[in-house]
Amino acid sequence: MIDSLTTSMTSLPIDAGDILDQLSQGVMVTDTNWRIQYVNRAVLRNVGLPPEKILGVHLLVLVANYCREDSYGELLRLAVRLTQRPPQENVSERVPFHTAERRRFIRIRVQPYRQEPSASGYLLLFQDATPEGEIDEMKNEFVSVASHEMRTPMTSIKGSLELLLGGYAGELPAEATELLGISLTAVDRLVRLINDLLDISKIESGKMELHFDRLDVTECIAKSMRSLRALAEAHKVSIRADEGGHLPPVLADRDRLEQVITNLLSNALKYSPPDSEVRILIRNLDNGVRVSVCDQGPGIASENLEKIFDRFFQLAGSKKGSGLGLTICRALIEQHRGRIWAESELGRGSQFHFEIPAAPPE
């Protein structure tokens, strides 16, 4: 849509800025260094500054000043993420904007552009998305309440099935034992789905509480490896951790960090062929720690490397699951002020990496 709009404007006998000033959505153009080159009237109206106070200013400076009253800071965090890791293709995200007087959502679309020989940068569109955000919040609230209501009876059912299979009611016929085992597997899957839905609801509503402490990443990895020993044996896959030199402590929530590591490891084990190896590489960065989980599985097509972190996205032929595990991993790592990504080639395995900052000196 943006390409067709800009192409058509070049053939019109009127100034393109006049057209953009009539749009209700904000339009901004920056250079490759994120310094603002153009804004339309909608941006000026929302920011409340004249053009001379905006043009030439770095995007982060403008957003930081605009977000002084934003109690959540999601818009500023998005701007930081964009400028630190410039997008190579179109990006669209909705972020909440909270102040004491009002609460709304903003949809931001970012498109890199390149016009030879020298002009290049980023085109940003800003649009009010409050109705869309409020509907999503109501949906998330319903999912959260429904999941809470389901978790208690499911836990009770699971406990009862385990008691029966453990001989609480006496010896059972082989057919009954088999049916109870199938039922227990199904209940386990439902409980995992409910827990994933609750985690997503907490994260998206900002109610996920993290308890940060100074941690040794290798201890968290060792615990996750022990918890997955039975799964590794069942898939006939070995796990090996490779620690590279001295590692600084990180500031993290132990349970949530272990949740991320366990999820990445369990995925690697499920997709690895028998008699293969899953490697965990732990490396010291200048200001943090990088953990990489490498498998020898079927690999992931390049066009799906970003999509796999989207909610409910599942690859063709993938193992059964909620489609939420990697979404939760990404959200948790971002809440630790880190980043997570995947690298893969079809037929040559996959590598999932995440980085989190080192803890400040005591």
Sorted by sequence, the CB contacts under 8 Å of residue 22 that are 6+ apart come out as none
For tokens 């079809």, name the residue: 346
First to last CA, the chain: 52
CA distance 2 to 89: 13
Task: Say what the pLDDT of residue 125 is.
Answer: 93
Task: Say what the pLDDT of residue 11 is.
Answer: 43
Q: Identify the DSSP state of 89.
A: S
pLDDT averages per 10-residue partition of the chain, 362 residues: 43 62 88 91 88 91 83 81 84 81 85 76 91 81 77 86 86 88 85 80 74 91 90 89 84 91 91 91 88 91 83 67 81 89 88 91 76
| Neighbour count for residue 75 (Cβ, 10 Å) | 21
CA distance 18 to 303: 38
The closest of 191, 182, 184 to 154, measured between CA atoms, is: 191
For 83, counting Cβ atoms within 10 Å of its Cβ (0-12 exposed, 13-18 middle, 19+ buried), the class is middle
Task: Say what the pLDDT of residue 318 is.
Answer: 62
360 prior amide bond cis, ω within 30: no
Give the 3-state secondary structure of residue 4. Answer: helix
Task: Say what the pLDDT of residue 3 is.
Answer: 47
Domains and CATH numbers, the chain: 2-128 (3.30.450.20), 133-205 (1.10.287), 213-357 (3.30.565.10)
Q: What is the bridge-based pairing of β-strands 36-39 and 119-128? A: unpaired
Task: Say what the pLDDT of residue 117 is.
Answer: 62
Task: Say what the pLDDT of residue 291 is.
Answer: 94
Let me know how many helices (H) and strands (E) the chain has, helices first. Answer: 11, 12
Task: Say what the pLDDT of residue 9 is.
Answer: 39
Task: Say what the pLDDT of residue 208 is.
Answer: 75
Task: Say what the pLDDT of residue 360 is.
Answer: 85
Task: Say what the pLDDT of residue 10 is.
Answer: 40
